[in-house]
Amino acid sequence: MAPYKTSKGAVQIPFDQPIPLDLIAAMAVWSYRRVRGLPEE
């Protein structure tokens, strides 16, 4: 996430760049596992 501006609850992706689907998928999996109380991989 280093090339993106971040805050506590957000990641800012510039409009002129492609959407990093792999990063978004990884964040979704991380969030799901955290909410469900599952161990991190």
Domains of the chain by residue range:
5-36
Q: So what's the pLDDT on residue 1?
A: 65
Q: 5 pairs with which residues across the strands?
A: 12
**19: Cβ contacts below 8 Å, ≥ 6 apart:** 13
Single-letter residue type at 20: P
For 1-41, the pLDDT digits (tens) are: 678 999 988 999 999 999 999 999 999 999 999 999 998 77
SS3 sequence, 1-41?
CCCCEEECCEEECCCCCCCCHHHHHHHHHHHHHHHHCCCCC
Single-letter residue type at 39: P
pTM of this structure:
0.72
Q: So what's the pLDDT on residue 40?
A: 79
